[in-house]
Amino acid sequence: MILDLFKLDGKVALVTGAGQGLGQAMSLGLAEAGADIATLDRTGCKGTCEEIYDLGRRYFESVVDLREASVEQLKDVVANVVKELGRIDILVNNAGTIRRTPAVDFSETDWDDVLQINLKAAFFLSQAVGRVMMSQGGGKIINIASMLSFQGGITVPSYTASKSGIAGITRALANEWAKHNINVNAIAPGYMATDNTAALRADPNRSTSILDRIPAGRWGTPDDLKGAVVFLASPASDYLNGAIIPVDGGWLAR
């Protein structure tokens, strides 16, 4: 039956930035589909943890600040997840940050912090998890891209660079790892009602101009990503490689 292809029973997913927002919703969506969940977050994921336990799933938490994490620390996170939960079948590289300043005034610190969290940490976590998946015979890596993987944006040069990079490494890893039965794909959320867009939503003019371009006529919510992440994590997407799926209410279609 087709619905059986979307089940994640017996799978283990590692989700970064799972304490709130998009990461929390995707963690819960994966757990609702049957997966046990490991989280990585700077401040911990107490609320996420409680909801996952309520679903009857196993849970393991790593508290790590990706802005400061070394490659060796990321390898240790992966090793600890495997030790505690037995395997890793799904990686969701969701953790991210944004800094808003005109390009002419953009600081080196704001550039480095965003690239470290959004791109470097995602790549080296994928590398560490990819080795585990190769030894297991396959897996699913899901990167979180952005509308700014396709567009330039305004006053967010490091975020645009990082999300353009995420699109690139999604394709690059898909090319190399498909032969290992590892599917590497990405979700590109549109304008979502999260902390990252609080400043935009608080600006009446900017908010109106954004909503006027979204055919769905509303900001997205974290729950809008549950279906896409379960699909990409499940056997239903076994022949999908290197894709970047917009979940944007039609923004890119305008």
Report residue 3 as tokens: 């619905």
**By the 8 A CB rule, do 211 and 218 touch?**
yes
Q: Predicted confidence band at 113 (pLDDT cuts at 50, 70, 90)?
A: very high
Q: What percentage of residues in the chain have a pLDDT greater than 70?
A: 100
Question: Annotated catalytic residue: which of 53, 59, 159, 239?
Answer: 159
pTM for the full predicted model: 0.96
Q: How many residues does the chain have?
A: 254
Residue 144 CA to residue 227 CA, distance in Å, equals 14
Query: Residue 171's pLDDT is what?
Result: 98
Q: Predicted confidence band at 76 (pLDDT cuts at 50, 70, 90)?
A: very high
Our answer to whether residue 159 is catalytic in this structure is yes
Strand order in the sheet with 244-247: 59-63, 36-41, 12-16, 90-93, 139-144, 182-189, 244-247
Q: Predicted confidence band at 1 (pLDDT cuts at 50, 70, 90)?
A: confident
Query: Residue 80's pLDDT is what?
Result: 98
Superfamily of domain 2-253: NAD(P)-binding Rossmann-like Domain (3.40.50.720)
Q: What percentage of residues in the chain have a pLDDT greater than 90?
A: 92
In the chain, domain spans? 2-253
Write the single-letter amino acid at 141: I
